[in-house]
Every structure is written in structure tokens, then in C-alpha cells.
Amino acid sequence: MAEGQALVKEIVPQSEDFSAWYVSVIRKADLMDYSPVRGCIVFKPDGYELWEACQAGLDRRFKETGHRNAYFPTLIPESFFQREKEHVEGFAPELPLVTEVGSEKLEERLALRPTSETIIGHMYAKWIQSYRDLPVLINQWANVFRWEKRTLPFLRTTEFLWQEGHTAHATEEEAREETMRMLEIYRDFVEADLAIPVVKGQKTPSERFAGAVDTYSIEAMMKDGKAVQAGTSHYLGTKFAEGFGIQFLDRDNQLKYVHTTSWGASTRLIGCIIMVHGDDRGLALPPRVAPTQVILIPIGPAKVREEVVGRSRELLQALRAAGLRARMDDRDEFSPGWKFSEYEMRGVPLRLELGPRDLAQGVVVAVRRDTGEKQALPQDGLVERVQTLLDEIQASMFQKALAFREAHSHRAATLADLGRVLEEKGGFVLAGWCGDDACERRVKEETKATARNIPFDPPERMERCLVCGREARHTVWFARAY
Amino acid sequence: MAEGQALVKEIVPQSEDFSAWYVSVIRKADLMDYSPVRGCIVFKPDGYELWEACQAGLDRRFKETGHRNAYFPTLIPESFFQREKEHVEGFAPELPLVTEVGSEKLEERLALRPTSETIIGHMYAKWIQSYRDLPVLINQWANVFRWEKRTLPFLRTTEFLWQEGHTAHATEEEAREETMRMLEIYRDFVEADLAIPVVKGQKTPSERFAGAVDTYSIEAMMKDGKAVQAGTSHYLGTKFAEGFGIQFLDRDNQLKYVHTTSWGASTRLIGCIIMVHGDDRGLALPPRVAPTQVILIPIGPAKVREEVVGRSRELLQALRAAGLRARMDDRDEFSPGWKFSEYEMRGVPLRLELGPRDLAQGVVVAVRRDTGEKQALPQDGLVERVQTLLDEIQASMFQKALAFREAHSHRAATLADLGRVLEEKGGFVLAGWCGDDACERRVKEETKATARNIPFDPPERMERCLVCGREARHTVWFARAY
Ligand SMILES: [Zn+2]
Ligand SMILES: [Zn+2]
């Protein structure tokens, strides 16, 4: 679709202006377009397929751990948001409201869901009566709406796509186990499938989900050193159970409130893939989620063309028969050089070139997107070699992102330290924190960095609060964030 | 979830009150629940899994024919609906409108999409410039909103889930081919996977999609003889292209409007599955889309229990390893008899019972949900026998539904005939029609039946209009419909 036109535009170098690089890449790779409604984007096929890959990877893991999908209404009576005090404060200002249908006014205004704890809490109160009805383990794939002031494609949009899990349990212990299980599923998916290393930890109280007792997150570092919260898991205690009356008769014949959790990951993940792996040549997609894993390009003058294309087609069929997502580009109207840049820009992990000389030698030339490395692979046993190579690329992309994060992780003993490190080097900064809201607020005001999370497994325990110098209760990762 | 409670309620016999039967079955089988917002239902896991099966079957077929998924915003500027005259007349009265966010009024009211021709038309106008950009073959899985006066779970709800394909082509011929290709995909999916026979045909002008040049449908007969439109495919001509300025420079250097199509199928399909195959014992699910295809029930007194359950588990693993969706119910607290009715009610296509005597004889007892037929199957080679049996059940459910439709298909020469047939026998009625709107309107007013479609392949050509007696231009299937 108007590809020729789009390709004329050059990609802005990352080092020059990271934001401009990001926007130029997502436009050039045809992942999205802006819509006429402020902050709402169109997910074009190349962008949406990344979301389909995320859906497949997460959905499989949810189902393996006993969760089932369901679907709840988008429209939620406005009054429902009043039932949990902190929840309404967090979400009311961004709620789009349906007030009319056709030309008739509605009796009660209906909010477009920003998240579904309220409507799901209302339903669970009807469904749960006894300990025998527990646990309830449900996930929903849905669109949600938050009228954000500043938007950025994939990372913060007025409407976005996500999954939200909502579970109910008989005991706090079981609900807390579920909260951790789902956080671990997000870590596993993001690290294994997206090749993005993350830090697991707990959010500080001021960064908690509105209405949660405890919020946990995985945080990923983008190539400009900024953080993205890539998934969250909340232990909600009995707050929503009390707000919506979700009670059950326990084995001991006592009526009790259930303990609930919720957890979510969204189309922000697409933004993470781009900002973690992309470079000045464009996207670089991890093989496990790349819609096209292998692009085959036959090369050569017209007189050998038929033979080269014929052999390429055979190899293509072998690759596809093995379940690889391979495609061939044998179009005449574009030069091989043009195609090389095109598929590099689109982030295809592996390019296979086949020319007359390769044909004679029984090889294909394989070029890795991540390293640019070239190697001749024998056509015999090609499928196995390609599979191994894709695994290597996946592992090496993770290692590269991990090394980048390590290289951009620092420590700060004081607020001045933190400010200096962020200005000079950026990245994640480890510091002690006394646990006081005021100190956390100072950090934000003076450095624009926020507490990303309190990691479960920090590289070092910091002893003093970076602001007030008192004894640190927590060791925290601070960073500027999307 | 409160299963015990739900099971106390009995299923109303179909013959007594079909609507009451329907509602009692979907509640008892735990497919849905009512939400606090009028006409919006909750798709509970057992209901939603039927939708997931429909999604898988359709999505595969769409991708095999070159379509790709994308996602467009839910919110559409109200003014967009004005761009196509018939479209706005059709949809304006049912449009939910977002007028405020938080406590601020929006400058332009935003409609929740009832269908996405308008917003997609707007985007296609940006994306399409040249014949090289064509065809555009995009599908979207989404929630849509229509404020229906009367609602019925799955069949007509305020919010529902569907897919909507939207394609753009250089020529009318190509767009019309696409329209027919997608209609055929719906027929194939509904007949092969859902085991529901359908009639393919063209809608009369008064039943066309608002804004279409031609609308085609597949129509299915429910067990009360009423029709459900199970999928539609529209040739939209250049109407939306003109409304949104979707033009391209053709090979001949002329600026032309594209020809567009759209096609959709929705969660109504769940309603069709229930109403076509269900009976007084509950649901009956076609094996291809049944979330559980085989339920294994070990039987016997406590002393042989361990051995029976152990062997059942081995068989279960073998079935699952072969890709069958099999489950075992070895709960102690429910009797075998209770379990038999339970899984019959939930529509599981095949039940396997294993007791001590079966164990000794090396067999399992297989019971078909569709016919109730019992047979002993050797444990050796069980997987293959079960696979064959499921194929037989699938084919036989289709044949049974087809025979039912044939038995309830009639002919009428006059309006009086039609009224009498509908009152006495119900079902689909074939009749001639002169093509006049007035005659079609008379039929609706006097019999509450509507023209379902003009079949491509009617069993007989009818010569006279059933209302005015003039020469028939079309042979039409009339029926009362959901
Ligand atoms: Zn402090
Ligand atoms: Zn007539």
C-alpha cells in the first residue's frame, strides 16, 4: 500500500533523535497509521500480526495454567466506579462516557471500560456462593479506553488492546500465589518470546494500580535508556470483593470475602519490541514472534532466472513444510539491493539469497538481521540449519539486549548523583529509599525519573535513602519511563 | 460456578416453548449471563470457547485466501455516517454516542462502531493511490454496538463480537468475485465445521445492508423452523469509495473509484449451533467445534477405583496425544448417572465409560450424544476408532439437520397458502415474487415472514408472484426469522 512512497522517507538515526527514529520506523515499516480520533491509532496488518504473535504466546501460557477466556461488556454503568474509592479517583478523569443513543438520552451514563474490575466484580458476586465455586480463573482479550493527555503509538493510546486476567480465591495466600504466577508468566513470555530482559519487582505505593493492595511489574529498558512497564500483576485483597459483595460460604460455614487478583499486558508490547531491538536500519524482530522469519530472495539475470526461482521455490516449500514462516520475493520490478534493505527495515530475522553460483555450489547465502553476518549454508539439510540459526538469533538478541541493559544500569547514593547519572548516561539507576512518599516525590520533581519497581533480586542492597540519607527500607530501580 | 444450583433447574421441552427451552439451555449449560447494561450479555467460558472455535475456523480460511487482520478504532466521528446516505439512515437510530470524557464535553460526538465501513473507508482513501496498492484484503475481529429494541442472547445483543472483512478492488468484476468467495467461505465453514446446512442466495433490495449495491447471505433453519442469517457478504460498488474519496490511478492513467466489499459473521453463530442441534436433554455440539470432544468417565466401587482410574488416565493421555480434546471426570462426589446427564446437557459429542468389567474385557463403552447409541470399543486402537466415530457424528449431525430442513421446507402459490403453511407447519417456504416492494411488504405485514433470500439454486422455479399473481421475477425463500 503506497510502499514506494513510504520508502522514500529515510529513517532518522537513533542517536540523533530517538523519538523521531521511533515514529519514522513504525511509519516506514507500515505498522500503524493515525486515525481521525485523537490518540486512537489504526493497527495495520504488519503491526497487528505482532499483536497476534503476542496473543498466541500469552494465551497458550494462560490456558496451560488453568485459565479460560470469557468476554464482559465494554459499557459499564458510571456508578460502578464509585464502589471502590481509589479506583474511581484513578480512572474517573479519563473515562469516555456514552450519554445518548441515536437522539435519546440514557438514564444512566455508561463508561467505556478502562479496565474491567468493576463489571467483573459485579458478575463474580452473582457466580460465587461457595468455596466449591473457587478459584475462578478467567482471562479476557479486549479493547480498553483511557483518555490520555499525551499519546504515543503503541505505548500510550486512547484505545488500546490488551488482555486482563481476573481471578477470585478463597484465601490471601492462594491469591498472592496467583499474582506471582502470572507475573512469572509475563517474565517468561517477554524474555523467551520477545527476547527482552526484564526486572521483576514490586511497585511503590504511589505507583500502584488504583484499588490494588500490591502491584508487581516487569520493567524493560528501551534503547534510549527509558523504562517501559511491560506487564503488571495485582493482588487486590478483598477491596473489590467488599465493593461488589463477592462473598462465599467457606468449608467452616463462615461467610467470607474472596481475595481477587488482576493482571494485564497490552499492545505496548509492540512498542517494546521496536524500541529494544530496532536500529538505524529499521525493525529487528525476534524469530519467535516475527510474522515472517525467513525471506528467500532469488538473484540473477533473466536467462538463469527460471532455474534459480524453481530451486528457491523448492527450498521455500521445505521450510514451510517444517512449520517455518518463510516467504519468497521473486518480483522482477525491484532490485536485490532494494529488497535487502526492505526486509532489513521490516526486521525479518533471516535472509536467504540464492544466485546462479550458489545454485552451482549447492548452497544458499544466509544473512542475519541482528548481526549482519553472512554465511553459506548447504542446501542439503537447509531446514535444520535454518532452525538452529533462528534459535541462535533469538538467544543472541536476548543476550544483546541484556548486555545493553547491564551497560546502562547504574547506582546513585544521592539525589544529585541520580540527576547527574540520568543526564550523562540515562538508563536504570539503583538507589536506596526510606519508604517515604515525600522522598519519592522529590525524585520525580527533580529528575523526572520514577520508581520503576523494588526488584525481588537487586544486584546490591543500597543502605541509605538517596534523598533524606536515612536508612533505606527498599532498594529501588529509578528511571525515566514511557 | 454454582453448578449444583443451576442443575436443579430443569430444561423446558422444545415442543412446549422453544424460546423458553433456548433460554433454559444456555443458562443451564452456563454459556452466558445477563449484565447490568440492557441487552449486553457476558460470554462465560463455555460460551466464549464456542466463539474461539468459530474464530479459529474462519480465521484460517480468511488467511488461506490472502486476507490479513488489522484493527481500526472503535470510536468514529458522528459526521462520518453522513457520507453515505443509506448507511446513515440504517444505523443512526441505534448509535451509542460518546459525548463527554470525565467531566468535559467533546467537540464532536463519537459513535461506537455498529460496523466499520466509514472509518475504514476514510483510512483506505489515505492508503490507496495506485492500482499497485490493490487489492486491499483486510479483516478485523472486533466488538460492535447496535442499540436493538428487542434482544436475545447471542442472536441479538447490544454489544456483540464479530469479524468484518473490508476489501478494495480495481474492478467491479474482481470485487464481485471477492463477494462470492467470502460467501462460499461462510457456507463451507458453517456446513463443514458447525454441521449446519445453509441456503446461499441474494437478499432482496429491502433486506440489503444499508449502503450495499448487493447483499448475499447464508440462511440456516433453527429447530422451531425460524431462519437465522448466519453470514453476509456485500458488494458495495463505489458507494463508500465516493463517500470517502477512495480513488486510484489505474494502469491507463485514469483516476478511478475503487470497488469495495464487506462481509461479516458474528456471535450469532453460537445461537445457531444451539438452536439447530440442541434437544430436550440440552446442547449437542458438533465435534469440530466442541471445546470438549470426548469425556471419559471411570466407574466402579472404591476397591477397583484405583485400577479403573489408572487405565482411564492412560487412555486419556493417548487421546490427547493424538490432538483430541478429551477430558476425564473422576470426581467422587458425583454419581456416574449425574455425570452422564451433565455432559449430555453440555453437549459433549462422545462419552467413554470404563468400569471393572470393561477393564477385564479390554473395552470401553462409547455413547454418542447425537443418537444415544452405545457400543463397546476395544481399548487397542481406541484413538483411531474415536477419531472415526467423531467424524461420523459430525457427518450425521449435518445430515440430520439437513433432513430436518428438507422436512420443513414447503411451497406456497398464494399469500393465503403461505400464511396457512407458516401457521400449520412453520419452516422455510418457497414462493414466486414479482420483484415489487409492495408485494414483499404485504407478505411481512400479513404473515410476519420476510424474504430470507433469493436462492442461487432453488429446488424449483416458481412462476407467479404469491401476492399479485403476476409473473414471478424471482423465486424466494420466505420464513419468520430471528
Ligand atoms: Zn527518604
Ligand atoms: Zn407481486
Topology (CATH level 3) of domain A294-389: Rossmann fold (3.40.50)
pLDDT confidence of residue A6: 45
pLDDT confidence of residue A82: 87
Helix (H) or strand (E) holding B57: helix B45-64
E-state strands within B115-158: 136-145
Q: What is the pLDDT of residues A407-439, one digit of tens each?
A: 999 999 999 999 999 999 999 999 999 999 999
Is the dihedral angle over the CA atoms B207, B211, B214, B219 positive or is it negative?
negative
Q: How far is the CA of B466 from the centre of ligand 2 (A)?
A: 7
Is the dihedral angle over the CA atoms B472, B473, B477, B481 positive or is it negative?
negative
Interface test with A, best of B7, B31, B33, B42 (most A CBs within 10 A): B42
Cβ contact B77–A37 (<8 Å): yes
pLDDT confidence of residue A8: 41
Q: Smallest Cβ distance to A96: which of B52, B80, B101?
A: B101
Which residues in chain B have their CB less than 8 angstroms from residue A112's CB?
Answer: 74, 98, 112
The number of CA neighbours under 13 Å toward the Cβ of A345 is 25
Which residues in chain B have their CB less than 8 angstroms from residue A132's CB?
Answer: 4
Ligand approaching nearest to the C-alpha of B443: 2
pLDDT confidence of residue B93: 87
% of chain A residues with pLDDT over 90: 92
Judge residue B149's burial from the number of C-beta atoms within 10 Å of its C-beta, 0-12 exposed, 13-18 middle, 19 or more buried.
exposed
- Rg, chain A, Cα only: 25
How does residue A2 score in pLDDT terms, banded at 50, 70 and 90?
A: very low
Burial A111-143 (b: 16+ CB within 10 A, else e): bbbbbbbbbbbbbbbebbbebebbbbbbbbbbb
The full set of domain ranges for chain B reads: 12-277, 294-389, 409-479
Ligand approaching nearest to the C-alpha of B476: 2
Which residues in chain A have their CB less than 8 angstroms from residue B70's CB?
Answer: 42-45, 48
Instruction: Give CA–CA dist B87/A316, Å, rounded.
Output: 45
Q: What is the pLDDT of residues B12-24, one digit of tens each?
A: 999 999 999 999 9
Beta partners for A376? Answer: A365
pLDDT confidence of residue A89: 86
Ligand approaching nearest to the C-alpha of A469: 1
Amino acid at A402: L
Other CB atoms within 10 Å distance of the CB of residue B456: 12
% of chain B residues with pLDDT over 90: 92
How does residue A9 score in pLDDT terms, banded at 50, 70 and 90?
A: low
pLDDT confidence of residue B3: 44
| pTM of the predicted model over 0.90 | yes
**Closest of B369, B213, B359, B231 to residue B290, by C-alpha:** B369
In this structure, CATH architecture of domain B409-479? 2-Layer Sandwich (3.30)
Q: What is the pLDDT of residues A381-412, one digit of tens each?
A: 999 999 999 999 999 999 999 999 999 999 99
Beta partners for B69? Answer: B139
Instruction: Give the chain B residue nearest A141 (alpha carbons).
Output: B142
**Closest of B231, B180, B154, B134 to residue B452, by C-alpha:** B231
The total number of residues shown for chain A amounts to 482
- Cell 536500529 belongs to A279
Which residues in chain A have their CB less than 8 angstroms from residue B37's CB?
Answer: 73, 75-77, 110
**Closest of A296, A148, A40 to residue B71, by C-alpha:** A40
Q: Kindly tell me if the per-residue pLDDT of B2 is higher than 50.
A: no
Q: What is the pLDDT of residues B149-186, one digit of tens each?
A: 899 999 999 999 999 999 999 999 999 999 999 999 99
The number of CA neighbours under 13 Å toward the Cβ of B7 is 14
Burial B326-340 (b: 16+ CB within 10 A, else e): bbbbeeeeeeeeebe
Cβ contact B37–A123 (<8 Å): no
Chain mean pLDDT for chain B: 95
pLDDT confidence of residue A298: 96
Which residues in chain A have their CB less than 8 angstroms from residue B33's CB?
Answer: 123, 126-127
How does residue A5 score in pLDDT terms, banded at 50, 70 and 90?
A: very low
Q: Smallest Cβ distance to A147: which of B71, B102, B136?
A: B102
Class of domain B12-277: alpha beta
User: Cell numbers at residue B329, please?
Assistant: 471426570
Cβ contact B97–A94 (<8 Å): no
Instruction: Give CA–CA dist A42/A31, Å, rounded.
Output: 9
Q: How far is the CA of A416 from the centre of ligand 1 (A)?
A: 14
Helix (H) or strand (E) holding A161: strand A159-169
pLDDT confidence of residue B102: 86
